[in-house]
Amino acid sequence: PKAKGLKDYYQKYFPIGVAVAVRNLQGDEAQLIKKQFNSITAENAMKMASIQPKEGLFYWKDADSIVSFAQKNGIKVRGHNLCWHEQTPDWFFKDNEGKQVTKAVLLQRLKTHITAVVSRYKGKIYAWDVVNEAVDDDPNGYLRNSKWYQICGEDFISKAFEYAHEADPDVKLFYNDYNTERPEKWEQIYKLLKSLKDKGVPIDGVGLQAHWSVVEPTEAELRSAIERYSSLGLKIQFTELDISIYPWEKIKRARKPGESDAFTPELEKAQMEKYAMVFKVFRAYKNVITNVTFWNISDRYSWLDNYPVAGRKNYPLLFDHHLQPKKAYWEVINFKK
């Protein structure tokens, strides 16, 4: 019989996904993806800057490769993302003379973009992150003061969902954000989601990015986040899971002189316990959780290696540099099936 992977152990729970670039779709990484995962997300290839770098100039090659790899191998695709304040080319916000465009023009450009992307992958992508990270990090704030917000006010959010829904009425539509279980941010995210639901916006769920660390979130924080968001009638997907070996405070600053970035046995244990806890909670809420996706494949490469300072190694995933399962992996699959 074929050796089992994460997707097989979790067959009765939810699809298990991974974020990829085109370069990962060959060699040993492709083998690992096929064995372990049954959902994929493009790490960058479907973002606005990748797809439409200039107005009307659509670049589909990388996104198409990822979708066709998935189709060939019976893997589902999560789309990421249709509207964000990062990785959005400046032309969206400017006219020919370099002046800021009006709300009407910007919404028209948003509609053109979303319609093109969602229609192209209709029936091939099963869920889209429609709007990404629109909530402010300031606990006293609400929506992020992005170009989208400055020009359109909050309307760009509901419009983005409407455009996506028109282009593919069957695809599941998500609002996606980070720090969704942190006390300083969850209320604002809940407020936004509730207002979308109250207005009748076609939203199916919320993506909790899950860029966590060995010290966060706590089990209580995670459970209450799931309960609060699902109380709105929304499905939940964990869209960008990784467990950094550095607590958030430490990751935000450069390494101090003499400070090690080694993956010590203590950190390995702490990470293993955190992974075991979060998957135990995920399994307990399988009725509302419809996907769990890892952000990158293995410790060979993680976006966290370069965030926020280039070159500091991190070890946030379930597979090591040689693509071998780490201790945390065995914890994640070690439950009564």
What residues numbered 86-115 form the site for ligand G3I, per CB under 6 A? Answer: 86-87
> Among residues 87 and 334, whose Cβ is nearest to ligand G3I?
87
DSSP 158-178: HHHHHHHHHH-TTSEEEEEES
Which residue in the set 283, 303, 313, 323 belongs to the binding site for ligand G3I (CB under 6 A)? 303
Instruction: Quote the CA–CA distance of 292 and 276 in Å, as a whole number.
Output: 14
Q: What mask of x and - would describe binding to ligand G3I in positions 124 to 163, judged by CB under 6 A?
A: --------x-------------------------------
Kindly state the number of chain residues that form the binding site for ligand G3I, as judged by CB under 6 A. Answer: 8
Query: How many CB atoms neighbour CB 213 within 10 A?
Result: 22
Catalytic residue among 29, 43, 240, 331: 240
Instruction: Quote the CA–CA distance of 322 and 292 in Å, as a whole number.
Output: 23
Which residue in the set 39, 209, 293, 298 belongs to the binding site for ligand G3I (CB under 6 A)? 209
> Among residues 36 and 179, whose Cβ is nearest to ligand G3I?
179
**What is the nearest approach in angstroms of ligand G3I to the Cβ of residue 337?**
32
| 240 counts as catalytic | yes
Q: Which residues contact 90 (CB under 8 A, 6 or more apart)?
A: none
Q: Give the distance, in angstroms, between the CA of residue 40 and the centroid of all CA atoms in the same chain.
A: 11
Instruction: Quote the CA–CA distance of 157 and 193 in Å, as a whole number.
Output: 10
What residues numbered 17-56 form the site for ligand G3I, per CB under 6 A? Answer: 43-44
Q: Is 332 exposed, middle or buried (0-12, 13-18, 19+ CB in 10 A)?
A: buried
240 interacts with ligand G3I by CB under 6 A: yes
| Residues facing residue 211 across a β-bridge | 242
> Among residues 29 and 240, whose Cβ is nearest to ligand G3I?
240
Q: Any idea which residues carry the catalytic annotation?
A: 240
Residues lying near ligand G3I in the complex (CB under 6 A) are found at 43-44, 86-87, 132, 209, 240, 303
